[in-house]
Amino acid sequence: MWLIPLCRYAIMLTAFGTRLIAMSTEPIELTAFTPGQRLDKLIAARLEGFSRTQIQTLIKDGLVMVDGNPAKPGIKLKGGEQVCVTLPQTADAIIQPENLPLNVVYEDDDLAVIDKAAGMVVHPAVGNESGTLVNAMIARWPQIAEIEDPDGRMGIVHRLDKGTSGLILVAKNMDALENLMGQFQDRTVEKTYIALLERTPRTATGHIDAPIARDPKQRKRLAVVRSGKLAITDFSVIDDDFQGGQALVTVRLHTGRTHQIRVHMAFIGCPVVGDTVYGFRKQRVRLKRLFLHAAALSFDHPATGERLHFESDLPPGLQNVMAKLRH
């Protein structure tokens, strides 16, 4: 039995704005709140994955404190209060090993490279407590659950969105995890994706250097924001022979921001096909996933220093989509 560490959030409300602080992560700046806003509405809007009803239950159970005191869901905030939300779901949740199919491209005593299918969530979270990549990993490699990582990464070196398929790197021990994460921080890991864009970019190749942060207007999204974190993406068009004007591109990430490819491609007016968050409001191609695939991954082995390179073919379903778009 493996316990997920307790996760606590504190939302700081000031006259200038709102800050959501999560343990083990850096603060996330939020937009200014509206005076008189209900407590339950405020929290529900800022804790992704929780409905307003769930938030009201947390408040009624005494798990939400305003300036250190219990509160009612309908209380209206004036500003300057400190709101602390405790999420018992993560404290009591147990990550159960599950014998789920995994396409393991490579493995040794230190690491594994997995070709993740689209639709699989990487790490358990509220609303996705089972059926995740981590559930499958600890069934296959129980030693991963014993890694004493304060961030609770469970061997996950980097993440892929649920709707993204392709190569993901997993560490089997703490030494390997620290080494591989260091390579990502030093930007020596090479990650190449294949994506189908709704429009053909103006140039055959492109270099996007645009910082990313929370969208100040829609807090559940990310966006290019002047004060955001450094984000650099290169792309190259490899095929634009589609009747709808789409373009198949290779994308290389030099940084690893959440939703980076999706945000940057939308920023240049060429969103990823299947992206209902950053893409067109009315999707032109019927696709239940993102047309985004992690196709290549290169890094140094944490123990031997040998440079390793892996590739993954585009899934048949995405190849079929392209074939239909040519007719």
SS3 30: strand
For the chain, the first-to-last Cα distance in angstroms comes to: 52
Q: What is the 8-class DSSP label of residue 313?
A: P
Residues 6+ apart with CB under 8 A from 90: 4, 5, 6, 7, 126
SS3 57: helix
Q: DSSP for 128-139, please give it.
A: B-SSSHHHHHHH
Q: DSSP for 190-215, please give it.
A: EEEEEEEESS--SSSEEEEE--EEE-
C-alpha–C-alpha distance, residues 51 and 64, integer Å: 15
Alpha helices in the chain (DSSP H): 39-46, 52-60, 88-92, 133-140, 174-185, 260-267, 316-326
Q: Active-site positions?
A: 161
Spatial contact of 57 and 73, defined as CB atoms under 8 Å apart? no
C-alpha–C-alpha distance, residues 183 and 300, integer Å: 8
Q: How many CB atoms lie within 10 A of CB 57?
A: 14
CA distances from 317 to 52, 165, 270, 292, 321 (A): 36, 11, 21, 12, 6
